Amino acid sequence: MQSGKVNTGALYSLFLRLDFRDKRSVGFKKLIGVLIAYFFANFFLSFGNFRNFDEVSFVILSMSTNAFFLSFILLNDFISLFLVKSESETIYALPIKQEDIFLSKFFAAYSFMVFYAAAIILPQVIFFYQYNENIIGTLAFLYSVFLFNIFIISCLALFYIFILRYFVKFSYTFIYMINICFLVYVFYSSTVRGRAMGEGRSSVFSYSFVDILPQTLFAKGVAEPVWLIILTLITIVAAGLFYLLLRKNYSRITSGVQAINNRAKNRSAINPFTKLANAIDKIITTVFVRNHLQRASYYLMRNQLSNSRVFKLRYFVFLLMPLVFTGIAVFSGLAGTVIFEKGDMSSYSNVLILSPSILFIYVLCARLIISNTRIADTNSNDSEWIYRSLPVGGVVQMRLGILKFIMSHLLIPMIIVVGLLLSYRMDPLSIILNLLFATAGVFFISSILYRFDKYYPFTQDSSKMDSASKFIEVLFTIFLALIIFISQLFIFKNIIFIITSIPVLFLLGGIILRTQRT
C-alpha cells in the first residue's frame, strides 16, 4: 500500500512538471509568468465591468468571463492534460498499476486547471472589494466564483468526454465552436459595456436569458451563506461525475483519440478544392516565389496547414477574430467603433481613418499568424535536427517563403472579407488605403522582429505555458500597432503621403529581410 502511495505521488509530481514544463525556463518562473499574463488579461475586463455594472451584474459577468476563459483553455488542452501523452507512454512499461497512472494524471491535470481558475479570479476580487469594502462579502465572492470555476470545468469536461467517447470525429469541430463562442462573447461583452457607458451602472437582468444561467445561481452564494453549502455540494457532485466517467472510459477514449490521429496522418489531403488550390499555388510560386528554398518553405507551410488539425484550429481562430470583431463593430451602430472620429477634420484629407480597435485587432491577429509559424505541431516536436542536417545556409529564405504563403493564402482573403464588411460603413477608397497601410505595417513589423527570431519554422516546442510569453508578445504587438496608428494620424493628412508610405513600408520590410544573415 505504501508503495502505491509513493508511485501515485511520484507520478503526480512528474505529470505536473510535464504540464508546466518548458525547455528554456524553470517551472516556477513560468508559473509567475502565467499568473501575471492572466492577471492583466482579466484585469481590464473586470475594470470595465466594475465601472459600468452593479454588484450582482459584476458577479455574473465575472463568472461568465471565467467560463469562457476556462473553456478555451480546457478544451484546447484537454487531450494533452487528461490523456497520457507520447512522452509519458513509456511509463506503461514500468511495474506501475494503471490505476495509479490515471489518478496521478487526473489530479495533475486538475491542479493545472485549478491554477488557471485561481489566476483569473484575482483581479475580480480586487474590483469586487471596491463595491462595499467588505472583507466577509469579498471572501464569499471569492469562494462562490472559485466553486463556479470548478463546476464549469467539470461540466465542460463531462460534455467533452461524451463527445470523445461517441463522436470523436467531431471533437475538433466542437473545439472550433467553443473558440468562436469565446470570441463572440468577448466582443459582444465589449459592446454591452460600450452601451452602458454614460448611463450609470447598469444591470444585466435587463436581458431575460440571464435568469436561467448557472452564473445567476452561483451569484446567490455571495449574499446568502446558506447557498454556499448547496453550491459546494453541487460542485462536488459535478467534479465526482467527471472523475467517475473519465475513469470508466479512459482506455476507450485514449484509444479512440490515437486512432483518429493515426488516420489523420495517413489520410490523403485530396478534396474538391485541391485542383484549384494547386493551380493558384503554381501561379504564385511561378511569379512571386522564384527561389527554390522559398518554394520549399512555401509548400511546407501549405502541407502543415493542410495536414495538422492543431494548425487549422490555431489559424482559424486568428483569422476569425478580426472578422467577428469587425462585424460586431459595423452592425452594432456604436459611434467610433468603425471610423475614428477626428477632432479637427479640416486638417485631414477626405480619406476616413479606421478605428484603432479594428486596426489593433487586425495587426494583432496578423502578427500572431506569422509568429505562430515557429511553433511545432504537438505531434512533431524536436524537429530542428532536420534543418541542421540539410544544406540550408540560413532561415531567411525559408521565412520569406512562409511569409509569402501567409500573405497570399491567409491575410489577403481576410482583408477582402474585412473590406466587404467595412463597405457597409465606409467608402471603398478609405477601406483599401486603411487595410493596405495596416498590412504594410504588419509586414514591416514582422521583418524587424524576424531579425531577433532564431527559431527555424515549426521547431519551437508547443507548451501549455506559452501563454505567458505570448501575452508579452501581444502587449508588444499592441504597442507597435499604437505606433502605426499614431503615424497614420499624420500620414493620412495628405493623400500623397498615404500613397507613398504604403510601398515604402513594403520596400523597407523587404530590404530588412534580405539583409539578414541568419
Q: Where are the domains of the chain?
A: 2-199+213-260, 276-514
pLDDT in the model for residue 30:
55
Better-scored residue on pLDDT, 270 or 403? 403
pLDDT in the model for residue 503:
92
Of 59-68, 159-168, 355-364, the one with minimum mean pLDDT is: 159-168
**Count of residues making up the chain:** 518
**Which tens digits make up the pLDDT trace of 304-348?**
777 776 677 678 777 877 887 788 778 766 666 778 776 544 445
User: Where does the pLDDT of residue 268 fall: very low under 50, low under 70, confident under 90, or very high at 90 and above?
Assistant: very low
Whole-angstrom distance, CA of residue 3 vs CA of residue 92: 17
**Which tens digits make up the pLDDT trace of 103-124?**
777 788 777 777 777 778 888 9
Instruction: Provide, rounded to the nearest whole percent, the portion of the chain with pLDDT above 90.
Output: 7
Better-scored residue on pLDDT, 316 or 152? 152
| 3-class DSSP assignment, residue 132 | helix
pLDDT in the model for residue 345:
46
Q: Is residue 253 exposed (0-12), middle (13-18) or buried (19+ Cβ within 10 Å)?
A: buried
Q: Which residues of 226-241 are buried (b: 16+ CB within 10 A; e: fewer)?
A: ebbeebbebbeebbee
**Residue closest to 148 by CA, chosen among 57, 235, 42:** 235
Q: Which grid cell sits at 172? A: 475538433
**Residue closest to 144 by CA, chosen among 45, 56, 208:** 56
Measured from the Cβ of residue 110, the count of other Cβ atoms closer than 10 Å reads 20
Winning range, highest mean pLDDT, from 188-197, 229-238, 419-428: 229-238
Whole-angstrom distance, CA of residue 71 vs CA of residue 54: 26
Average pLDDT, the chain: 75
pLDDT in the model for residue 190:
52
Residue 492, pLDDT > 90, answer no
**Which tens digits make up the pLDDT trace of 126-148?**
999 888 888 998 999 999 999 99
Residue 94, pLDDT > 50, answer yes
- Are 221 and 143 within 8 A, CB to CB? yes
Distance, CA of 248 to chain centre: 31
For residue 441, the number of C-alpha atoms closer than 13 Å in the C-beta half-sphere is: 26
What's the one-letter identity of residue 415? I
User: Where does the pLDDT of residue 516 fall: very low under 50, low under 70, confident under 90, or very high at 90 and above?
Assistant: low
Whole-angstrom distance, CA of residue 498 vs CA of residue 349: 10
Query: pTM score > 0.75 for this model?
Result: no
**Which tens digits make up the pLDDT trace of 18-40?**
665 554 444 455 556 556 666 77
Mean pLDDT of 232-237: 94
Residue 402, pLDDT > 60, answer yes
Better-scored residue on pLDDT, 318 or 194? 318
pLDDT in the model for residue 272:
47
Whole-angstrom distance, CA of residue 143 vs CA of residue 156: 20
Q: Which residues of 312-349 are buried (b: 16+ CB within 10 A; e: fewer)?
A: eebbebbbbbbbbbbbbbbebeeeebbbbeeeeeeebb
Which residue has 476563459 as its cell numbers? 69
